[in-house]
Structure 1
Amino acid sequence: MKQHAQRVKTRHIILAVMCLMYFISYIDRVNIAVAGPLIRHEMGLSAVQLGLVFSAFAYPYAVMQIIGGWLSDKFGPKLVLTVLSLIWGAATLATGFAGSVAMLVALRFALGVGEGGAFPTATRAFTYWMPVGERGFAQGITHSFARLGGAITPPLVLAVVVAGGWRDAFILLGIASLMWTVLYLFVFTNSPEQNRRVTPEETAEIGYCKGDCDRAKRQATPWRKLVRRMWLVTFVDFCYGWLLWVYLTWLPSYLKESRGFDLKQLALFTALPLLAGVVGDTLGGVVSDRLYKWTGRLRFARCAVLVTGMGGSLIFLLPMVSVANPMVAVLFLSASFFFLEITNPVLWTLPLDIAGKYAGTAGGMMNTGFGIAGMVSPVVFGYLIQHTGSYNVPFLISAGLLALGIVAALFIDTSRTVEADEERERRMGPEEAGAFAFLDSMPTVQLERHTLRRPLRWWR
């Protein structure tokens, strides 16, 4: 019994708690789509008003990415994520008592504030809890739980609706969110040295040095260095997010209007791609970590998975547009989403690799690309459908963005870290180091030891 207890690492307990957070938060995020028709009927909302309720989440969600990440860097993820989870839990609970469209919009806005900073803060939490060789898995498994939450939301919420109504669904989910906050407060600490359950052996495995957490809080955020190192990752995340938002918003309509599935079939065939994404999220993180352990080349381990994932998604998306058989189209969509989600854990691992102690802010910067895609992609997709009368053109544009993302991913270099920039500045002085870093940040050349190298040799 004692030997078994020793095998359960504290960091893995914390990871399990984070998985639960991703799972619950995603249900809280998408439950409004399931309850939407019932809310519209009860309150007499127009389609425009319901659309306003849906969109109220996206804008604060995008804005809070960088803010939430920065706050977690400054004040620690324990305090910040506690406050954020209280906000979104209370907003979800209060939605069950909403009596007007204005109140619904306000509560969805509050939900966006709470959840907007949650994932960057969770990424910051992994900085001092996950060793480099486990970060891909950690990001993969947490986002797998997020996709799983999205996949089970329709049957879960509908079951509660049948038993007690749509208001009960929000009340119960809000209570579950607040209960998670209590669990998080009990289990999580900002660093291993603050946790009495962590052994010296596990601290060594993590690679944490005493005092790292406190020193990081006292340092000013190097905004310019972060932008220089993260803008390319943000662009790749935008390309990834564009297609993901298409799946999250337009997939049911596409299957019904373009492929002719009835309402009973929609529940199953909408869930299939999302379930494929659950597997892809987990596999992407595991494969990236294994590649790093086998080769010792972090850049290769990250970029290879990014390129393979986006490339595979592109390969299966293109024939889906032209295939005639609806069932085959669903299989292509599922395969495309599987490969798309392989990239997700790597994208979330890159802020840890590149920004280190500033991973919260860096994660927020990266996911701002996803947030912008969420504001633009569904609208553009709908506009193109309306003006072309077909889903083919918007899907082909999504494929084109995947191709751009693949090219951009080739230039991401995990060896160009913010901490390396800071060390160079201490050694060379701000002006000389700034000029060097500017040249080093250009995607067309890589300047290292005063020698130009080809940028696409990312396998080294």
Structure 2
Amino acid sequence: MTQDAKRTARQGSPRPAARSLLGVFRHRVRGRVLALLCAMYFITYLDRVNISTAAPYIKADLGLNDTQLGLALSAFSIPYAFFQVFGGVLSDRFGPRRVLAVVGALWAIATVCTGFSVGLVTLFAARLGLGFGEGASFPTATNAMATWLPSDRRAFGQGITHASSRIGNAIAPIAVAGLIALYDWRLAFYVFGAISLLWTLAWALMYRNRPADHPKITAAELEELSTEQRAATRPRLPWRALLRRILPVTFVDFCYGWMLWVYLTWIPSFFQDSYGLNLGSFALFSTLVLVAGVLGDMVGGLVSDALLRRTGSLRIARRSVLVIGLLGSFAFIIPTLIVHQLLLTTICLAVAFFLLELTNPVLWTIPMDIAPSHAGTAGGLMNTGYGIAGILSPILFGLLVDLTGDWVASFALSAVLLLIGGLAALRIDPTKRITASVS
């Protein structure tokens, strides 16, 4: 047995009876928990990316230039970035049930308020509120998954939930375009805010922080979880050890997040400006690109877990997907810098997004590998990189477009960061697990 395999065994692998993919979730409460989390990821991404499709109309209605629009797009990520760790700590202390109920209500209200914006200041404030609301959501969801999912299905859990978020990405342009055509851009924010409130109510009613506390849990399902997952208390968090192990992942997440924010905020405007497409056309092409991310998240999670079961090596299972995904995405962004052809550009952007999203479930799984008892805090620390990228990427991308008059420099900078991130991923070691005895 390899050293990685021994470490995996010590972490508490699921019992053989629950090894099949469907067997892990069928007729089990964890399947319902995962479905609720999938719905949350879908809705949060509807709420955070709907502004990108509405952006040309918001820009015209509120009289903004590209730099001002980029500032408004970045507003979400200012509190989002800095609430990651704090939100993770809150989820570790108070549990996902209470934390997601509170922040879910907050992001729902902020989404509705976006529709009432009358200028840059009110738009910026509404997006700040959305960032506060959603900042704790993914670290808290990671906490829930670390508690409810067997160790060798965690990447799958991250993959399917993030695939749900990318479905939100893909549906948002079409849904927002339809609502704009039906009334105006404001209607999209009212509708999506109401959907968020409904999810928040369902979560508060159905979720429990400890599997043993759920009224429908069975003894068989509890037996499929490790002793650590069933524990009533958590060990003290060793901050120094956590920072040392997670910060390399945070940096790679920054590089990944920079490019993801380009897709989330600027792709519709890119298609409209570069190819002169109307609302229906640029929404359609944006959706075609973003659908590739759904497949990327699903494949990335499945491949990483399959590699872990086959090799017993966390290094191989996590690192290989990160490196291939980031460097492959870099390779397919390059043609968009030199070719101005709508179909080819769309294909390259879609393949690059697929490869980029291979890495997403792995980035979120590594905090659970390293600190399973403190997955909320570890996930929040990791995702701070994505949040910081969200502050810088939209506004600097827009600024470069304004300064140069085209999109080449902005995409070139993003490609370079993908290359750096792919190389930096070689230094990530998910086997350095934090235990209660670490100080």
TM-score > 0.5 by shorter chain:
yes
Q: 2:168 aligns with which of 128, 144, 149?
A: 149
Distance 2:288 2:82 in 1: 31
| Pairing 1:174-213 to 2, within 5 Å after superposition | 174-209=193-228, 212=231
| Pairing 1:355-374 to 2, within 5 Å after superposition | 355-374=371-390
Distance 1:102 1:321 in 2: 34
Q: 2:394 aligns with which of 378, 403, 424?
A: 378
What is the identity, as a one-letter code, of the residue corresponding to 1:350?
I
| Pairing 1:2-21 to 2, within 5 Å after superposition | 7-21=26-40
Note the residue ranges of structure 1 that are not aligned, 5 or more in a row: 426-460
> 1:282 maps to which residue?
298
Distance 1:49 1:387 in 2: 13
What is the identity, as a one-letter code, of the residue corresponding to 2:148?
W
| Pairing 1:41-440 to 2, within 5 Å after superposition | 44-47=62-65, 51-97=70-116, 102-209=121-228, 212=231, 214-216=232-234, 219-259=235-275, 261=277, 263-419=279-435, 422-425=436-439
Note the residue ranges of structure 2 that are not aligned, 5 or more in a row: 1-22
What is the identity, as a one-letter code, of the residue corresponding to 2:194?
I
Show CA shifts across 1:54-98 (max 9, x none).
Answer: 333221111111111111011111111111101111222344455
What is the identity, as a one-letter code, of the residue corresponding to 1:361?
T
Distance 2:407 2:437 in 1: 50
Distance 1:104 1:210 in 2: 42
Distance 1:106 1:265 in 2: 31
What is the identity, as a one-letter code, of the residue corresponding to 1:392?
V
What is the identity, as a one-letter code, of the residue corresponding to 2:306?
R
Distance 2:293 2:78 in 1: 25
Show CA shifts across 1:163-201 (max 9, x none).
Answer: 344444323222211111111112211121111212122
Superposition RMSD in Å = 2.4
Distance 1:165 1:399 in 2: 35
| TM-score normalised to structure 2 length | 0.87
Q: Is the 8 A contact 1:192 1:208 kept in 2?
A: no
Q: Structure 1 residues 54 and 245, CA, compared in 2 at 3 Å: closer, same or farther?
A: closer
Shift of 1:138: 0.7
Q: Larger deviation: 336-345 or 237-246?
A: 237-246
- Structure 1's consecutive aligned runs of 4 or more residues displaced over 6 angstroms after TM superposition are none
Q: Structure 1 residues 211 and 133, CA, compared in 2 at 3 Å: closer, same or farther?
A: closer
| TM-score normalised to structure 1 length | 0.83
Distance 1:97 1:254 in 2: 26
> 1:444 maps to which residue?
none
Q: Structure 1 residues 224 and 112, CA, compared in 2 at 3 Å: closer, same or farther?
A: same
Distance 1:100 1:228 in 2: 43
Q: Is the 8 A contact 2:53 2:176 kept in 1?
A: yes
Residue 224 of structure 1 aligns to a residue whose secondary structure is helix
Show CA shifts across 1:143-165 (max 9, x none).
Answer: 11111112211221232343344
Show CA shifts across 1:337-382 (max 9, x none).
Answer: 1000000000011111111111111111111111111122233333
Q: Is the 8 A contact 2:96 2:143 kept in 1?
A: yes
Q: Structure 1 residues 328 and 12, CA, compared in 2 at 3 Å: closer, same or farther?
A: same
Residue 437 of structure 2 aligns to a residue whose secondary structure is helix
Q: Structure 1 residues 50 and 406, CA, compared in 2 at 3 Å: closer, same or farther?
A: closer
Q: Structure 1 residues 310 and 178, CA, compared in 2 at 3 Å: closer, same or farther?
A: same
Q: Structure 1 residues 174 and 325, CA, compared in 2 at 3 Å: closer, same or farther?
A: closer
Distance 1:41 1:388 in 2: 21
Show CA shifts across 1:303-362 (max 9, x none).
Answer: 111111112212222233223533112111111110000000000111111111111111
Q: Structure 1 residues 310 and 40, CA, compared in 2 at 3 Å: closer, same or farther?
A: closer
Q: Structure 1 residues 16 and 130, CA, compared in 2 at 3 Å: closer, same or farther?
A: same
> 1:435 maps to which residue?
none
Shift of 1:36: 4.3
